[in-house]
Structures are given as structure tokens and as C-alpha cells.
Amino acid sequence: MNNQNETNTGMVGAGQMAKLLMLTPERLRQLAKEGAIPVAERGRYPLVQTIQAYLEWLRDDGRRAAQSRPNASLASAREKEIRLRLAQREAQIIDAIDVEAFHSFSSSLYRGQLAGLGGSVSRDPIIAGQIDAALTAALDRFDSRFAEAFPKLKRGIDPLGRRG
């Protein structure tokens, strides 16, 4: 796989680097020419060094912008976006769609495995029904807690209230 190969060598193509940094390939070449980022070798950029150099350039640009204009938050927002993209590429963060899909899979698996457990524990239909109702209520609470926590997770807030 080409992306895996690029990650293993630490070099990425100009198109991929431009996409990671949210730049056009032309702007990427311009920054390299200005010395803000490393120059490409055979059309490929060193991933970590290029991103670090670009982030440092953004910081410096942000400082200059803060001194010259009040709208310096754009550079900071762009830096944050790049850090998030890099973290995702390095598998330090998980896409919210994947989290939601995993929860759905887990919930269905639990429900399937626990369905009818009351009948296997007791032959008394009342007791079996109470067991099944208690399990269903617990699984419903599991789904409800996820539904409450998921919007926080999507906004980058720890839904468990832990400090990161």
C-alpha cells in the first residue's frame, strides 16, 4: 500500500504533504523556496521535519500577524487543524464515525449474546422475564449513556470528565 510505504520511509509526496498542510502544491513549493520548510527531494518531503517547520513558520507568522492585525486567530486555528490531521494520521485520534460504528456493533453483539438468557437461567417464565427485562434495561442504559457522551466526544470534550 502506497500510504503505508510513505509512512514507513518518513517521506510523502508533494500532493499528500500539500493536503496535510491544507495548501496548494504551488504554495508548498513557494514555502520551500523561501526556506520555511525543507526542499523536496525527488518530489517528496520529509513528513515530520516539514510539518514541524511549517508549524514553526505559522507560529512566527501568527506572532507577526498579532502585532500587525487583530485577526491572528486564523493562524492558530490552522495550526490546530494541522495538528489534528497529523494526530489522526499517526492514529492518535479516532474518527467519530468509527466510534459510533463500534458502539453500534458492540451494542448489537451484547444484545444478541444476552437475548433469552433469562430462559436459560430459570424455567420459571416470570423470573426468566425479569432477568431478560433487567438485561434489556441495562443495555438500554448503555446505549443512552453513549448517546449522551457522544456529542461531547465529537466536540473534543472528554465525556468521562478526565483531564488529558
Same-domain pairing of 8 and 77 = yes
Structural domain for 21, as ranges? 2-89
* pLDDT tens sequence across 111-131: 999 999 999 999 999 999 999
75 to each of 19, 26, 78, 82, how far by Cα in Å?
Answer: 17, 19, 5, 11
Same-domain pairing of 10 and 79 = yes
* pLDDT tens sequence across 21-64: 989 989 999 999 999 999 999 889 999 999 999 888 888 865 66
Residue predicted with more confidence, 9 or 12:
12
Does any domain span residue 113?
A: yes
Q: Which of 40, 62, 89 is the last residue of a domain?
A: 89
Does any domain span residue 7?
A: yes
Tell me whether residue 162 is exposed, middle or buried, using C-beta atoms within 10 angstroms of its C-beta: 0 to 12, 13 to 18, 19 or more.
exposed
Would residue 161 be called left, alpha or beta, if left means φ above 0 and alpha means ψ between -120 and 50 degrees? Answer: left
Tell me: pLDDT of 91 over 50: yes
Does any domain span residue 160?
A: no
**pTM of model > 0.75:** no
Tell me: pLDDT of 65 over 70: no
